[in-house]
Structure 1
Amino acid sequence: MSRFGAFSVLLLGLLVASPGYAQQAKPAAPTSTAAPEKKPRKLTRKERKELARRAALDAAAQQKRPLSEKDREMSEAYFVDGVRFVLLEDYNKALERLLKAYALNPTNAAVNYKIAETNLLSGNLQDATNFAQAAVKLDPQNAYYYLLLAQIYASQKQFDQAIGVYTTLIKQVPNSGYYLFNLADLYIAQGKLNEALATFDQAEKQFGPLDEVSFKKQQIYLKQNNLDKALKEGEVLITANPNEVRYVLAQAQMYAANNRFPDAIRVAQQALKQDPDNPRARMILADVYRQQNNAPESEKQIKLAFESPALDIDDKVRILVDYIKQLPNPALNQTAQDLAAITTRVHPREAKAFSIAGDIQTVTGNRPAARTNYLKAIQLDNSRYQIWQQVVLIDAELNQVDSLLTHTEQALELFPNQAPLWFYNGVGHQLKKQPTKAIKSLEYGRKLATDNPELLAQFDTQLGDTYHELKEYAKSDAAYEAALTFDANNAQALNNYSYYLSLRGEKLDKAKEMAGKLVKQNPDNDTYLDTYGWVLYRLKDYDGARQQFEKALKTTTDATVIEHYGDVLFKLGEADKALAEWQKAKKTGGASPLIDRKIKDKKLYE
């Protein structure tokens, strides 16, 4: 059908070779010209009415007398001038000239046609319709006039009228059978599928079998749930084009979509005989085998498809995204990782290949491998903030502080307004025992997070920790209070705030309330139990403290908790047991600097 494609586009441009030729019945072929950068304003409704009124009066007066040679020449001059302004997209001036031409010669079909076209372009569909109808009536053998009228109707969604115009055109104008394709498309747009099929059949009788017609008929049969006829059209396409593997693949896909799996496999394998490396055929087979629960064969075919550079990287990414939605899944984890590895090997210069591989490794729990892939993606394209963010998050999760600082500083050079990067940069400095630098980053990032209350609370919590380290206790307390204002159950704020208050021996009742709330919500968390026990210890509730420490020691061997337990035992008069716990804490490693004195003197130091 491609040889008739040029006629599917309505030809609106109408130029003339000379004034004398301009008003002959058959317009010349269209050409194009560059439009000015700034389009002039369209005529207002009032202006259009006035122009039409004046033209009608002039036309009525003109029809009382025959057209003189002078009037003919003037009309042609106005017409040519009007066409020029249409090409310049100055529709105001174009209509003014064309209506003057019409006033002098209202029965000229070309003038009516051009006025109709100009009104269509300027948005006046009613006048466009009237003048296009007049042009068709004045010259019923000119195909362009029918095409314009059909377009005007279609632009108003008056498809029945547009269909009527095409039908008349095909009947009235010789050698216009190729417009049957336009007519069929209109029927499809209206959902008149049987009429469209009949029109395509009529076209095939006139022009013979055409690939595009067979394809469209196939789509119509599918819409009508007539699978047999759709498949028959597919076979027609394959027979007519034995070397076109795309038609074979389309047929295989149709079989697969309708659960005709043996036929789908047969036709897909036929495609592979023609093109052994065709990845689409492999993908069809992989999908069919998956639906047949043949996992090994399905995996084999999809891996072969991924090995092909002909399968676009974007298609591979979309498939891997579908895998990610199903992960983690023991049955799919390894396949997804293998496909990601193939993608990076086949597309070593594509950042998105390494990015999606990093996502797969993240979801399946392989953080170091994920970071490696993300960093390769950044080497190829460092403009995507989300990838930098993933790298930084993994650094933090792996507690690799040097990497965290390096990567946040590199990312901040590119994205200085991203608050999360400042947050993790501050965390990195804090972990490196650089509280002053940490405060600088955290305070700056906090200013950028004012529109994100949740992130703001994280900044406040971290600032509470860091200001405590600097012994700026008032600022530390204020930061924790701000964090708890947003989220009263913020575990980190409740734990650290209450613990630091207990260390300072300040606001112990408040510390007890916060720590008790946290333990109630998390009764098995040894860190929170230790904090609550230490607050009770500072309140001299040694029995209560002992109870909390003993609960914590069921799940932890942390030296701090063991040492605290020894301290409370000493307070309870069990010095020998206290000494044993202190010795155990020292052996474990990580106890306080006072541990050696406690053991040496068998005495509690605080």
Structure 2
Amino acid sequence: MMKKRVLVILVFALFSNAFSVMAQTNPEDIAMATDEYQDSFYESLKQKGIENYDKAIVSLEKCIKLKPNDAVAYFELGKNYLSLKDYGNAQSFFEKATQLDPKNKWYWLGIYDVSYETKNYPLAIETIQKIIPFDEEYKDDLISLYMISNQYDKALATINEMNDKFGKSEDRDRYKMQILSQGKYQNAEASNLIDQIKKNPKEESNYIDLISLYSKSNETDKALDVAKQLAKEIPTSEWAQVSLFKVYLDANQADKAINSMNIILASSKIDSKIKHRTLNEFLIYTNKNPQYAPALEKAIGYFDNDPNVDVAKEIGKFYHSKNQFENAIKYYEKDLSANSDTDRETNLLLLDAYTQAKQFEPLTKRAMMMIEVYPSQPQFYYFAGMGSNQLKQFKNAKTVLEMGLDYVVDDAKLEANFNFQLGEAYNGLGDAKKKEEYFLKANELLKKKK
């Protein structure tokens, strides 16, 4: 989680020459005051290297007797006590080192290590803020601490500050997504992105993040406004096509609109909600300009693997609502062939469209097939019986309607329709008495419904 913290621990395990490249002097690289001090100090390093921390501590205590104000010896004592998980002593000696030399970041990092190991996050935050003046990149550690301690406001502000200064990072993006999943932070992030766009109108990622933010909160109109602004600043962007598509469509420049639409639908960057809205707008346009139906067919193909919406089915419903039953049938059949051929809702919609279009042969065939799949669903028996009557297959109509009537429960309208179709079947079979009997039942049920 905190790469710098781990790095510090590893680096300090090396001897002094490894620190020559550091911005500050390595505590272990300071010249020794006396031979006795030097011997004791190096003995402590040797014992620590073979994990004899108790013996290392004894040697360091000798060093402190010789040089009571030596920050390096106190720091080394802190490290040895930290290795022994004696956090109280470790913190005390690290603090003593910082008192003697407050401008050495390594001493503060010792306290940070203790606070992190003991999950004392308030102390960790306080300490890392003292380290940041030496190295601003430690703000990434501060962000992690804010996330651990659920201080999301401060984390988000620091993330935006670091992104602005050093560019985005994978860790910060992950944290930001976690924060923004809580809706109350989205307004603050939207304001930040708007400011970033004003500062740097040629940075595409800020537009995309803002569009995504609005899209996820179902503020599609705002998302389209941002796309329009993006189109003005960066016309080559895929997201810019979202705005250009609408401009072309409103100007009746169909070929340009279709080109923009295909770019939008093929893009892996553009949100699915925007894609669905684009397709819906083109569907409405195609309804008024049917010569562009082939382009609509191609557009639907982009959604073949969409797990969230059966696009062909929804288009079928659109045409169904417009009483364009031939078109509705085409898209219902397309949906059934691409997905589940036995989807109950789509089949019922298709059977109704067949009925309205007076396509009784495919109606009867599909309804009979669906009876095998859903043997207790009366609607399929009804459609099969009605279709058989229209095809003058009265015996088959009588049989299937009588079977299906047993499954009708608490649906007076459907029961009335069954009785009416049974009357038609008996009429076709030449039984006038039965015909009148079922017609009478149908009328009585319709009166009750009223």
Query: So what's the TM-score if we normalise by structure 2?
Result: 0.54
Deviation at 1:396, TM superposition (A): 1.8
Q: 1:231 is matched by which residue type in structure 2? A: I
Q: How does 1:127-526 map to 2 (within 5 A)?
A: 141-146=114-119, 166-171=121-126, 178-182=140-144, 184-185=146-147, 193=153, 195-196=154-155, 199-200=158-159, 208-211=166-169, 216=176, 223-224=187-188, 227=191, 229-234=192-197, 246-247=205-206, 249-250=208-209, 257=223, 259=225, 263-271=229-237, 278=238, 280-287=239-246, 289=247, 294-296=250-252, 300-301=256-257, 303-306=259-262, 310-311=266-267, 318-319=276-277, 322-323=280-281, 334=290, 337=293, 340-344=296-300, 352=310, 354-381=312-339, 382-470=341-429, 472=431, 475-488=434-447
The 1:257/1:177 distance shift into structure 2, 3 A limit, reads: closer
Q: How much does 1:414 deviate? A: 3.1
- In structure 2, do the counterparts of structure 1 residues 364 and 317 end up closer, same or farther at CA, with 3 Å as the change threshold? farther
C-alpha displacement of 1:315 = 5.3
Output the CA distance in 2 between the equivalents of 1:349 and 1:226: 31
Contact 1:320 1:356 in 2 (8 A): no
Quote the Cα distance in structure 2 between the aligned partners of 1:341 and 1:349. Answer: 15
CA pair 203-257 structure 1, distance change in 2 beyond 3 A: closer
Taking a change above 3 Å as real, the CA distance of residues 320 and 409 of structure 1, as seen in their structure-2 partners, is: farther
DSSP 3-state at the match of 1:442:
helix
Q: Report the Cα distance in structure 2 between the residues aligned to 1:6 and 1:342, rounded to whole angstroms.
A: 52
Deviation at 1:449, TM superposition (A): 2.3
| TM-score between the two structures when normalised by the length of structure 1 | 0.42
CA contact (8 A) 2:211 2:224 kept: no
In the alignment, the residues of structure 2 paired with residue 258 and residue 181 of structure 1 have an alpha-carbon distance, to the nearest angstrom, of 32
Q: Distance in 2 between matches of 1:201 and 1:402?
A: 65
Letter in 2 for 1:223: N
CA distance in 2 between partners of 1:336 and 1:347 (Å):
18
Please say if residues 395 and 401 of structure 1, whose CA atoms lie closer than 8 Å, have aligned partners that are also in contact: yes
1:69 corresponds to which residue?
Answer: none
1:197, CA displacement in angstroms? Answer: 5.5
Instruction: Give the aligned partner of residue 116 of structure 1.
Output: none
Structure 2 CA distance for aligned equivalents of residues 141 and 198 of structure 1 = 26
Letter in 2 for 1:230: L
User: Partner of 1:520 in structure 2?
Assistant: none
> Retained in 1: the 8 A contact 2:312–2:335?
yes
Query: CA separation of 1:473/1:201 partners in 2, compared to 1, >3 Å: closer, same or farther?
Result: closer
Number of residue pairs aligned between Structure 1 and Structure 2: 322
In 2, distance between residues paired with 1:316 and 1:407? 35
Q: Is the 8 A contact 1:340 1:360 kept in 2?
A: no
The alpha-carbon deviation at position 426 of structure 1 amounts to 0.5
Unaligned runs of 5+ in 2: 6-84, 88-111, 132-137, 215-220
2-side partners of 1:204 and 1:395: how far apart? Answer: 58
State the shift of 1:4 in Å.
5.6
Q: Partner of 1:61 in structure 2?
A: none
CA distance in 2 between counterparts of 1:316 and 1:411 reads 36
Quick one: distance in 2 between partners of 1:208 and 1:331? 50
Deviations 1:208-233 (A, max 9, x none): 44357589599799724984x53343
Q: Which amino acid aligns with 2:232?
A: R
Residue pair 2:398, 2:425 contacting (<8 A) in 1 also: yes
Partner SS for 2:266: coil
Query: How far 1:390 sits from its partner (Å)?
Result: 3.0
CA contact (8 A) 2:224 2:242 kept: no
Query: Is the Cα–Cα contact under 8 Å of residues 404 and 424 in structure 1 kept in the other structure?
Result: yes
Q: Matches of 1:435 and 1:181 in 2, distance apart?
A: 77
Structure 1 residue 181: Cα displacement? 2.0
Give 1:435 deviation, angstroms. Answer: 2.1
Which structure has the greater CA radius of gyration?
Answer: 1
Find the aligned partners of 1:370 and 1:392 in 2 and give their Cα distance.
Answer: 11
Letter in 1 for 2:116: A
Distance in 2, Cα, partners of 1:396 & 1:358: 15
- Give 1:6 shift: 12
Query: Against the structure 1 CA distance between its residues 168 and 346, is the aligned structure 2 distance closer, same or farther, given a 3 Å change threshold?
Result: closer
Aligned partner of 1:404: which letter? Answer: L
Give, in angstroms, the shift of residue 362 of structure 1. 3.2
The aligned residue for residue 106 of structure 2 is: none
SS at match of 2:235: helix
Kindly report the root-mean-square deviation, in angstroms, between the aligned alpha carbons of the 2 structures: 5.1
Take 1:330 and 1:216, find their aligned partners in 2: how far apart are those partners? 41
CA distance in 2, matches of 1:482, 1:4: 79
Q: CA deviation at 1:282?
A: 1.4
CA distance in 2, matches of 1:231, 1:307: 26
Q: For residues 484 and 345 of structure 1, do their structure 2 counterparts lie closer, same or farther at Cα, with a shift above 3 Å needed?
A: same
- Contact between 2:228 and 2:242, CA under 8 Å: does it hold in 1? no
Q: Which amino acid aligns with 2:422?
A: L
Give 1:452 shift.
3.2
What is the rounded CA distance, in whole Å, between the counterparts of 2:395 and 2:278 in structure 1? 44
The 1:166/1:297 distance shift into structure 2, 3 A limit, reads: farther
Unaligned 5+ segments in structure 1 are: 8-107, 111-138, 147-164, 272-277, 492-606
**Between the two proteins, what is the percent identity of the paired residues?**
15
Cα gap change, 1:336/1:389 in structure 2, threshold over 3 Å: closer, same or farther? farther
Cα distance, 1:359–1:265 mapped onto 2, change above 3 Å: same
Matches of 1:299 and 1:465, distance apart in 2: 52
- Whole-Å separation in 2 of the counterparts to 1:315 and 1:226: 19
Deviation string, structure 1 residues 148-201 (Cα, Å, up to 9, x no partner): xxxxxxxxxxxxxxxxx63333235898854522454589x77x74x4555447
- Helix, strand or coil for the counterpart of 1:399? coil
